[in-house]
Amino acid sequence: MESTAWLIIVACFGVALLLFLVMKTKLQAFVALMVVSFLVGLAVGMPPEKIIQTFKDGMGGTLAFIAIIIGLGAMFGEVLKVSGGAERLALTLLNKFGEKKSPWALSIAGLIISIPVFLDVALVILMPILYSLTRKSNKSLLYYGIPLLAGLIVAHGMIPPTPGPIASASLIGADLGWVILFGLIAGIPAMILAGPIFGDYISKKVHLGIPEFMQEQAAALSEKEEKGEVIYNGKELPSFWNVISIILLPIILILFSTTADVLLPEESTLRSVLVFIGHPFVALTIATLLTFYIFGTKRGYSKYEIQKLTTKALEPAGIIILVTGAGGVFGEMLVASGIGDVLANAMEKTDLPLVVFAFITAAVVRVAQGSVTVSMVTASSLVAPLLSSFDVSEPMKGILVIAVASGATIASHVNDSGFWMVNRYFGMTEGETLKSWTIMSTIVALVGFAVCLLLSLFA
C-alpha cells in the first residue's frame, strides 16, 4: 500500500483530472470517468489484473440495480409524455387552484411531472402554457415560470425514479423509500421558497413578456383553450386522475415496502407481499405496463407505435446508465486503492459531518462542470467509500443522497445546458438568467441542505 500522502495526492489529482477532461476537453463523462479510474489504479501501484477486476466489480455492482430502474423509468415517462399527460396535469391543477394561486399550481405540476419526465422535456412541453398565462394576465413570464422551474428542478434532483437520485442511491447503497421520503421532506419547502415566493419577488424586478418567436404559438393555445379544444398529438388529453395515479403508483409502492420492512415482523405474509411489490424493479414494472395500456393501447396506439416509442426512450437512458456505471467503477477504485480509508481518516480528524462533506463535494463539482447527474455520480462515488468507516444508519444514507442532490442543484450557470435552455425559452439576457434561474436553483440547494442538516440530527 502506498503512503498516505501519495494517496491524497492521487485522489486530488483524480478529481482535478476528471473535471478537466469533462470541462476543457469536452470528453464524454463516461469515458472521462473510465480514464481517471484506470490512472488512479496505476498511480497507486495496483497490479493490472486487480484493476480489471475492480472495473468489473464497480460496473457490475452498480448497473445490476440502476440499469433496470432507469430503463423502465425512461419508457414510462416517454409514453406519458406522448399521451399529453403533462399538459393534462398542469391544466387541471391551474383550473382547480384558480388564477390567483396559479404559481402554486405550477410548482406542484412541475414537481409531479418531472418525476417520470426529464426536466428539459417537461419544460418544452409546458412552456406554451406559461406563454398563454402571461398573455392573458400581462404579468412577467417569471411570475409563472420560476414556480414551474422550482418544481421541475426539485423532482429532477431529489425524487426517484429520476436518474440523479437513483444513481446516487445506488452508489451510496440507500433504500429508495428513505430517499423518496427525505426528498419530499427537503424538496417541498425548497420548492415553496424558490418557487412561488421567490417567483413573486423576482417577477417584480425583471418583467418579461412572451419572446417574439413564441407569440403565435401562445395565441394559438389561448384560442384552443377558449374553445375547449385541448388536443395533443391529434387526441384528447388523458384523464387527470389516470395521470396522477400512474405517476404516484411506484412511489407509493416503494414507500409501503420501506414502511413494511421497518414496522412488520419478518414472518408476516403482508410484509413479504409489500416488500416484493414495493421493490423498485416490481413497482416500476407494474407502473410501466399500466402506462403502456392506459396511455397507449386504450388511446388508440398500435403495438408497433408503443414499441417504437419505448425503444426511442432508451436512447437517452443509455448514456445515463453508462455514466452511473463508470461512477461506480471510480468509487470502487477509491475503495480498492485505499484512498477511501484515507479520506475517512481525514474526516474523522477534522470532525466534518458526512452530510456536510456530501453537500460541499457535490456543490464544487456542480459549479465546476454543470451537470446535475454527473455531479451526483461523482460526489456519491467519493462519499460511498467513507461509509464503512462510520456508523451510518439506513435513514442516514437516504439523507446523504438528498445532501448530494442539494449540492448538485446549486448555482446553475453558463456551463449548464439547463441555464441556456431557460435563457432561450424565456427570452432573457444572461444577466437576467443569473438573477432568476441561477438564484432559484441556489435557494433550492441551500434549503434542501438545511433540511438535511436538521434531519441528520435525528438519523
Strand-pairing partners, residue 236, are 231
- Mean pLDDT confidence for 267-295: 91
- Answer yes or no: is pLDDT of 215 > 70: no
User: How many alpha carbons lie under 13 Å from residue 253 in its C-beta half-sphere?
Assistant: 22
Select, from the ranges 2-11, 110-119, 273-282, 448-457, the one with the highest average predicted confidence (pLDDT): 448-457
- Please give the pLDDT value at position 427: 87
pLDDT, position 325: 84
CA atoms within 13 A on the CB side of 106: 31
Nearest to 97 by CA among 149, 148, 157, 154: 148
pLDDT tens digits, 148-168: 999 999 999 999 888 889 989
Task: Select the highest-mean-pLDDT range: 179-193, 221-235, 275-289.
Answer: 179-193
State yes or no: pLDDT of 234 exceeds 60: no
346-350, 354-358, 424-428, 449-453: which range is least confident on average? 346-350
Q: How far is CA 286 from CA 82, 175, 293, 324, in A?
A: 19, 19, 11, 24
What mean pLDDT do residues 116-130 have?
84
Alpha carbon distance 214, 221 (integer Å): 11
Burial 319-347 (b: 16+ CB within 10 A, else e): ebbbbbbbbbbbbbbbbbbbbbbbbbeeb
Q: Which amino acid is at 335?
A: V
pLDDT of 398 above 60 = yes
Residue with cell 426511442: 312
pLDDT tens readout for residues 326-362: 888 887 887 788 877 777 777 767 778 899 999 998 9
- Average pLDDT on 15-30 reads 83
1: pLDDT strictly greater than 80: no
Q: Which comes out higher in pLDDT, residue 232 or 113? A: 113
Categorise residue 449: left if φ over 0, alpha if ψ from -120 to 50, beta otherwise. alpha
Average pLDDT over residues 204-213: 83
What pLDDT score was predicted for residue 267? Answer: 84
Does 455 have pLDDT greater than 50? yes
Q: How confident is the model at residue 182 (pLDDT cuts 50, 70, 90)?
A: very high
Q: Do 127 and 425 meet the contact criterion of CB atoms below 8 Å apart? A: yes
Q: What is the pTM of this model?
A: 0.84
What pLDDT sits at residue 227?
Answer: 47
Q: Give the mean pLDDT of the chain.
A: 86
